[in-house]
Copies of this chain bind each other. A is one copy, B any other.
């Protein structure tokens, strides 16, 4: 019988897990340190043995969320069979993930500056948001100049990211078909 022991076994893992669980079931990304500790069944200060402060805890959660988004997107792309259809599917998956996990999505980008993906150690960060970036970069026609490719990739990312943010902030309603047409459109988007 697994009684309550003084040592938890693997707090940190438990904290991250129930932290993610809590964030999944709410809209705002305002997870409290004491709240989490309470939920895990441990004293608030115990968490300080595994994270230097609240910010580090949230950053760790954000990191996990980034991995989850990457995986979710990748699966969607594969399911659609790559190519243009695959890319559209990934764009839609990006928005879908945000809609289904608003708090995680928000937290992820609020702490994204801490997880420096762009600035340097891409390798050390692992596969985090890297897949996301690679995808965005890889989908642009290789025949274009480098700066145009860059702009094109950035355009695609900005589009789905803006869409996701506007939906989460209640500025536009979630409409799967509308989103699809926005993401997929190619000839309509003059200026």
Contacts and interface: CB of A to CB of B under 8 A. Distances in A.
Interface of A: 84, 87-88, 109-110, 112-113, 117-118, 139, 141, 144, 147-148, 150-152, 154-166, 169-173, 178, 181-182, 184-186, 188-191
Nearest to A190: B186
Nearest to A165: B165
B172 A118 contact: yes
Contacts of A163: 154, 158, 162
Contacts of A182: 151, 154-155, 158
Contact of A161 (B166, B173, B184): B166
A10 to B, nearest CB: 31
Nearest to A144: B188
Contacts of A189: 152, 155, 186, 189
Given A155-B182, A162-B162, 13 more contacts: A84-B191, A88-B191, A112-B169, A112-B170, A112-B171, A144-B188, A147-B178, A147-B181, A151-B178, A152-B188, A155-B185, A158-B163, A162-B165
